[in-house]
């Protein structure tokens, strides 16, 4: 059956386009949203009436409602939502500007809620649908210099986990996707983004973070198109996975982090269990 996709964060060379092309390869139809829809016009023209590009700033709730309504009116509904829009900024926990922190949460977390809430009523009415939340390896493994970005993605992970259980009985499936370093245009902006940090003690650490991302731009190991196809394959499994990590380094980093976390928890099992009232009251 042909499915209708609603994908946020459409930019040339981005993960949103990779998801769209993977869906189109299967014969599905796609609504791709973009803050700069004119940049996607030539790409969309290759697919005729199977693609609709909609202008959308996901941080504007009114625009979100209009975009979802336009998609539902154009194709008759939304079967798969991919919350892909997002961005990362770097900075220390102590020194990062609060307005930048709040902007990152608005884009990476609250916008995900806004779009999801707008799409779910149609899915509930049909008793079917998919919500795919693009998190990050950083949503499971935090890193110095990217603590607040990780916090936004950890929040996405928590909401995804709970949403999955809340909507399962209504025929809606939910998947968290955690890409590692993927060869999109996401790292290109670091070249022109200087370290903005008021506390000198963190300058060296943040310089190293920025340099690492600049050096990796264009040579990231992850293939966005292979990643998007892996997501579609995972969605077809029975049962489908709860999350899907994309990339070798990401898989290894998450596995190692979770194993260390479990070992740390178990090392203090006695202290943890002593925190309850005695069993005899």
Could you list the pLDDT tens digit for every one of the 281 residues in the chain? 899 999 999 999 899 999 999 999 999 999 999 999 999 999 999 999 999 999 999 999 999 999 999 999 999 999 999 999 998 888 999 999 999 999 999 999 999 999 999 999 999 999 999 999 999 999 999 999 999 999 999 999 999 999 999 999 999 999 999 998 888 877 766 667 777 889 999 999 999 988 888 888 878 888 999 999 999 999 999 999 999 999 999 999 999 999 999 999 999 999 999 999 998 86
| Neighbour order of strands in the sheet with 129-134 | 51-55, 29-34, 4-7, 80-83, 129-134, 172-179, 243-246
| Per-residue confidence (pLDDT) for residue 281, from 0 to 100 | 62
Cis peptide upstream of residue 235 (ω within 30 degrees of 0): no
| Per-residue confidence (pLDDT) for residue 175, from 0 to 100 | 98
| Per-residue confidence (pLDDT) for residue 191, from 0 to 100 | 65
Strand partners, 133: 83, 176
CA distances from 156 to 82, 105, 117, 163 (A): 13, 10, 14, 10
Q: Which fold has domain 4-273?
A: Rossmann fold (3.40.50)
50 contact partners, CB below 8 Å, separation of at least 6: 24, 28, 29, 30
The token pair at 217 is 């731009």
Q: Provide the residue count of the chain.
A: 281
> Domain locations in the chain?
4-273
Residues 148, 149, 187, 202: which is the catalytic one? Answer: 149
Residues 92, 114, 135, 150: which is the catalytic one? Answer: 135
Cα(193)–Cα(143) distance, rounded to whole angstroms?
A: 19
- Across the chain, mean pLDDT equals 94
What 3 state SS string does 95-121 have? CCCHHHHHHHHHHHHHHHHHHHHHHHH
Q: Is 5 left (phi over 0), alpha (psi -120 to 50) or beta?
A: beta
Place of tokens 């040339």: 12
DSSP labels, 17-64: HHHHHHHHHTT-EEEEEESSGGGGHHHHHTTGGGEEEEE--TT-HHHH
DSSP alpha helix (H) spans, the chain: 15-25, 41-45, 61-75, 98-105, 111-126, 147-167, 203-216, 224-235, 248-267, 269-273
202 is catalytic: no
Residues 153, 173, 187, 202: which is the catalytic one? Answer: 153
Q: What is the dihedral of CA 23, 27, 33, 38, to 10 degrees?
A: 120
């Amino acid at each position: 059956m042909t499915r209708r996709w609603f994908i946020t964060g459409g930019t040339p060379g981005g993960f949103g386009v990779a998801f769209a092309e993977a869906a189109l390869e299967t014969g599905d139809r796609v609504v791709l949203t973009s803050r700069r829809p004119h940049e996607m016009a030539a790409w969309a023209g290759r697919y005729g009436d199977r693609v609709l590009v909609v202008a959308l700033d996901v941080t504007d709730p009114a625009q979100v409602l209009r975009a979802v309504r336009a998609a539902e009116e154009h194709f008759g509904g939304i079967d798969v939502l991919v919350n892909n829009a997002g961005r990362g900024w770097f900075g220390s926990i102590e020194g990062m500007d609060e307005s930048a922190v709040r902007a990152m949460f608005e884009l990476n977390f609250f916008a995900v809620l806004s779009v999801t809430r707008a799409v779910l009523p149609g899915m509930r009415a049909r008793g079917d649908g998919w919500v795919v939340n693009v998190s990050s390896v950083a949503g499971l493994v935090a890193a110095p210099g990217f603590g607040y970005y990780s916090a936004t993605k950890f929040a996405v992970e928590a909401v995804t986990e709970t949403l999955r259980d809340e909507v399962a009985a209504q025929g809606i499936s939910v998947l968290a996707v955690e890409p590692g370093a993927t060869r999109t245009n996401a790292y290109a902006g670091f070249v022109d983004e200087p370290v903005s940090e008021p506390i000198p003690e963190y300058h060296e650490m943040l310089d190293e973070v920025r340099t690492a991302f600049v050096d990796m731009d264009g040579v990231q190991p992850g293939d966005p198109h292979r990643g998007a196809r892996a997501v579609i394959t995972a969605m077809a499994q029975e049962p489908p996975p709860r999350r899907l990590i994309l990339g070798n380094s990401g898989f290894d980093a998450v596995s190692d982090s979770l194993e260390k976390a479990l070992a740390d928890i178990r090392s203090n099992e006695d202290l943890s269990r002593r925190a309850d009232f005695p069993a005899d009251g």
